[in-house]
Structures are given as structure tokens and as C-alpha cells.
Structure 1
Amino acid sequence: MSTLTAHFDVPIGPDSPRTTRKAVLGILTVWGYTDESWADDVAVVVSELVTNAVQHGAGAVLLEIEAYGPQVVVSVADGSAVVPRRREPDGRGGRGLMLVEALTTRWHVEEHQGGKRVRAELRPYPRG
């Protein structure tokens, strides 16, 4: 089974999550990942990871997608070494990583070129 990969720089701005979400879903559709319910979960995970990187990260933001069979991993890297932590929701936010946890099988943070990369392993693509 071959691995499909894509990576691109995320344009920084208020439309970053929406633009990136559309790009990721377009790529996954071309690769044959067309289940709408599964794609809805992917859209939420991508939006949350990109939002966190744009709001709390530093420098350029890079997104990578890896797909091999039913397994898909989305990674978002930025220049800040500050590790995201789940926190209790309040009026300013705090729900993002709770959503990522709920919609993935696992997420973790690793060092990436002096900053960090947040990797989210999506739920397996449904066989149909």
C-alpha cells in the first residue's frame, strides 16, 4: 500500500482555517476519501489545528497530510515551541483540543525545526 502525501504553507490571516479546510478536503476527495460524515470530522480537526497555530504559534504555518489506506494523519507546524494544552472552556475558547481529542484516535506534539508540529491521527476512513 502506498502512502499519499501533500504539504503546503498556510496563508496567515482571518480566513486561514476556512481556506486550509477547503484545500485539505479537496485533496482528500481527489485521493478518494469522499465519505461526508468522516470529512466533516476532518474539517473540524483541520480548522482547530490551524486556528491554534495562527493564533498562538509563531512564524510560518505548514500543513501536511499523509494517507495510507484507511489511515490519515494531519499535521500542522509552526515556529513556536510552546506546547498546546487542553484547558477548561471559558468565554475566550478552550474547546479546540477537546474537539480534536473527540474526533481523532490520537494527537501529539513533536519538535519541528525549533518550533512544534501537532499531529492528529484521524479516525480510520470507513470502509464502504
Structure 2
Amino acid sequence: MKSEISTQEFAMRFTSTPRGARLARRLVSLRLDEWGHPYDGRVNEAVTLIAAEFVANAVRHGRVPGRDFHLRLAEEDGVVRLEVSDTRGERLPEPRVPCGEGGRGLILVEALADTWGVAPRQPGKTVWAEVRLSPATHR
């Protein structure tokens, strides 16, 4: 018997402002809940925290005046993938030892995501992360 592959996708542009970042984070959590990953579940919490870090970085470090950032969330083949694209390509994220108030976010991403990375685009870059669904949550 062949199992059905569930594919869902949400994509949207947001203003490169703190308000845009908050909205993006909330919509990620809402979409995941609608897709069957409850707010207090492992997948929703992990992906929402990753989204919070990626969109905050897009606003803080990837902002180009007059340009928005783009978010894409997809679930397919037992994996939730989050992508955040901005138009600044010269500042590529990498985990580092925290210093002062900053630097912890990508260490958190590394701990929560099964895999993550950065891909160039014109203009800018896309930061992405994937979280595998456990067999119990995979439809």
C-alpha cells in the first residue's frame, strides 16, 4: 500500500521591520498549528524559534532600505522546511561563540534544526532550516 505524501506551503513577503518580523513569526506558528502541529508541540516550538531567529537576523543584519524579506514554510516528505530570504548577500550567518548580548541565535538554530544552511540568491541570500517530523506526527 502506497502512503500519501502530504505537501503544504505558505509563502509571504514582510516589511524589514520589527513589526514585520513579529508578524512572520506569528504566521509561522499559526500555519503549523493549522497543519496539525499544535502550538505546544515539538515541531511548532522548534520551527517558530528558528523563524524568530531568521527573521530577526533578516531585519537586523539583512535589511536594505526599501526591500522586504521573504519567508517560505513548507511541509513535505516528513520534513518541515523554513526559508527566509533577504537582499543583503555580503553578510552570511554562521554560528559563533556568544559574546555579550548577541550571538546565541544560530547556536539555538543548530540545536533545534536537523539541518540548516545558507544559499546565495540574486540579490542576497536565503537562510534555511529543516526539522524532521517524528513518525507519529508524519501524515
Is this contact kept in 2: 1:17–1:48, CA < 8 A? no
Question: After alignment, is 61-70 or 71-80 more displaced?
Answer: 61-70
Question: Does the C-alpha gap of structure 1 residues 44 and 126 become closer, same or farther in structure 2, counting only changes over 3 Å?
Answer: farther
Pair 1:20-2:28 in alignment? no
Instruction: Give the Cα separation in 1 of the matches to 2:115 and 2:37.
Output: 20
Is this contact kept in 1: 2:81–2:130, CA < 8 A? yes
Question: After alignment, is 35-44 or 90-99 more displaced?
Answer: 35-44
Pair 1:50-2:58 in alignment? no
Q: Whose strand fraction is larger, Structure 1's or Structure 2's?
A: 1
Is this contact kept in 1: 2:29–2:39, CA < 8 A? no
Task: Output one character per residue of 1:77-122: Cα deviation in whole Å (capped at 9) or x when no partner.
Answer: 0001121122221113000100000000010110122210001002
Gaps of 5+ in 2: none
What SS does the corresponding residue of 1:74 show, helix, strand or coil?
strand
Instruction: Give the Cα separation in 2 of the matches to 1:65 and 1:113.
Output: 20
Question: Does the C-alpha gap of structure 1 residues 33 and 55 become closer, same or farther in structure 2, counting only changes over 3 Å?
Answer: same
Q: Taking every aligned residue pair, what percent have the same amino acid on both sides?
A: 35
Number of positions where the alignment pairs a residue of Structure 1 with one of Structure 2: 128
What is the aligned partner in structure 1 of residue 69 from structure 2? 61
Question: After alignment, is 32-41 or 71-80 more displaced?
Answer: 32-41
Superposed displacement of residue 16, structure 1: 3.3
For normalisation by structure 2, the TM-score amounts to 0.83
Instruction: Give the Cα separation in 2 of the matches to 1:95 and 1:63.
Output: 22
For normalisation by structure 1, the TM-score amounts to 0.89
C-alpha RMSD over aligned residues? 1.7
Instruction: Give the Cα separation in 2 of the matches to 1:52 and 1:25.
Output: 18
Instruction: Give the Cα separation in 1 of the matches to 2:125 and 2:107.
Output: 19
Q: Partner letter of residue 110 of structure 1?
A: A
